[in-house]
Structures are given as structure tokens and as C-alpha cells.
């Protein structure tokens, strides 16, 4: 994925997945980040913090974490923080990301300063995830993970596909999802969410359909 030009194969695969979405897939994916934003708002209200801080804590604990566990871990951490207790080792990577969450909660800003470092520390995926949860309606970023990559290349069995997305792949795949989003009249993250939900349901077994390129 070193080429800067758009790949017709990647566009076809993303579109193929998008067009296999059921009405339920489409509805859930369309509002996935808005629902996540509401979850962050609920945490913010419960622990008297800003929604930016809540989104930051969620994002800090998100790497390799399933969404349900991600929210539970954020709640556990915030509960300990509010009680003045030592922050627990939650999340897949333990204290490494817990410390980032603590800096977000204890900083003078709303978490933006710490989360912006994720571009260097964790990568653009976590930064995009934070911004999409914090401001899903206005954000035009797309969260590219290994599943988004697998959708684009239409393979799930190869270990190289399952691996983490490199920075160059992230930039390239983001452009492809944005292009598909423009074609179907949605935001990039909405296309990504719809495709992710569809891909999960189909377990990667997509039939190629006739597309206009």
C-alpha cells in the first residue's frame, strides 16, 4: 500500500462490504459513534468530568480492547479515580495506558494535549477513536484498525492482514474509506462502522458483486 493513487481493488472490496449490509447493520453502523458519544456523556455525568475527558479515558484504554470491556474498564478506572484510590490495572495493556488515562483526568486541559501525543505513542487510530467519540457529528476522521484493513483487502486468514496497521497503510486506507463515503453520501466513519458490523456478521465471507469500476 505504498502507492498514493487509489486502488480500484480496495474500493471495490469496501463497497462490496458496504452493499452487503442489512438494514440492521446500516442503522447500527450509521449511529455507532453517536451511541459511543452518549456512553461517554453518561460517564462524564456520573463522575463530574468533561465528555472530552471521558472520551479520552475510553480511547486510552481502547487498544485491542473489545467495546463492552472498554466501557467497563473506563467505569472501573473512573470510580477509583473519583474515590481517590490508586488507579487499577485495567485494559489489555495494563498500566501503560492507565497512566495516560490518569494524565487526561488530572491535567489542566480536557485531554486534548495528552491524546494528541497518541499520534506518536499509540498511533492515529487511538487519536481518531477519541475524536470520533468526543465529536462524532462534526468529525470526518475514520478509525482504521486491522478489521478495516481486512475489509479493504477482503482477507482474514493471512497473519499479515491481521497485524497492526502501519502509518502508511492508515493514511492510504483512510483515503479509500473517505472516497467510498463520498460516493454513498456518508461520513467516512459511518462507512467504516457499517462495514465493520457487516464484516463481523458475515465473518469475512463476501461474494464479489458487480460494481461500476
Write out pLDDT tens, residues 115-159: 655 545 457 888 899 999 999 998 889 999 888 999 999 986 454
Residue 79 has pLDDT above 60, yes or no: yes
State the pLDDT confidence band at 100, using cuts at 50, 70 and 90: confident
Give residue 115's pLDDT. 60
Query: For position 126, what pLDDT does the model report?
Result: 87
- Count of beta carbons in the 10 Å neighbourhood of residue 195: 27
Per-residue confidence (pLDDT) for residue 127, from 0 to 100: 86
Q: What is the pLDDT of residue 7?
A: 94
pLDDT higher than threshold 80 for residue 111: no
Question: What's the average model confidence in pLDDT over 8-20?
Answer: 96
Residues 181 and 11: beta-carbon distance below 8 Å: no
Neighbours of 175 (CB within 10 A): 17
Distances (CA, A) of 56 to 19, 95, 97: 33, 15, 11
Can you tell me the distance from the alpha carbon of 188 to that of 140, in angstroms, rounded to the nearest whole number? 6
Across 10-14, 83-87, 120-124, 139-143, least confident range: 120-124
Average pLDDT of the residues in 33-45? 97
**Contact present, 32 and 208 (Cβ < 8 Å):** no
Give residue 138's pLDDT. Answer: 86
Altogether, the residues listed in the chain come to a count of 213
Domain ranges in the chain are: 8-31+138-202, 33-134
% of the chain surpassing 70 pLDDT: 82
Model confidence pLDDT, tens digit, residues 158-194 = 544 455 678 888 999 999 999 999 999 999 999 999 9
pLDDT at 68 exceeding the cut of 80 = yes
Is the torsion defined by CA of 22, 201, 153, 125 positive or negative?
positive
Amino acid at each position: 500500500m505504498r502507492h498514493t493513487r487509489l486502488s480500484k481493488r480496495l474500493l471495490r472490496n469496501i463497497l462490496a462490504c458496504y452493499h452487503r449490509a442489512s438494514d440492521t447493520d446500516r442503522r447500527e453502523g450509521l449511529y455507532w459513534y453517536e451511541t459511543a458519544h452518549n456512553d461517554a456523556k453518561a460517564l462524564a455525568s456520573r463522575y463530574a468530568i468533561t465528555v472530552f475527558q471521558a472520551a479520552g479515558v475510553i480511547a486510552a484504554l481502547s487498544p485491542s480492547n473489545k467495546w463492552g470491556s472498554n466501557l467497563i474498564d473506563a467505569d472501573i478506572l473512573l470510580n477509583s479515580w473519583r474515590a481517590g484510590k490508586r488507579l487499577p490495572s485495567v485494559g489489555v495493556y495494563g498500566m501503560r495506558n492507565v497512566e495516560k488515562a490518569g494524565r487526561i483526568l488530572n491535567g489542566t486541559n480536557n485531554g486534548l494535549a495528552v491524546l494528541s501525543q497518541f499520534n506518536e505513542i499509540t498511533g492515529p487510530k487511538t487519536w481518531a477513536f477519541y475524536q470520533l467519540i468526543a465529536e462524532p457529528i462534526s468529525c470526518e476522521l475514520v478509525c482504521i484498525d486491522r478489521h478495516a484493513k481486512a475489509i479493504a483487502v477482503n482477507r482474514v486468514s493471512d497473519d499479515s492482514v491481521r497485524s497492526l496497521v502501519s502509518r502508511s497503510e492508515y493514511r492510504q486506507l483512510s483515503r479509500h474509506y473517505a472516497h467510498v463515503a463520498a460516493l454513498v453520501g456518508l461520513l467516512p466513519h459511518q462507512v467504516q462502522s457499517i462495514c465493520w458490523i457487516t464484516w463481523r456478521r458475515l465473518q469475512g465471507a463476501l461474494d464479489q458483486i458487480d460494481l461500476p469500476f
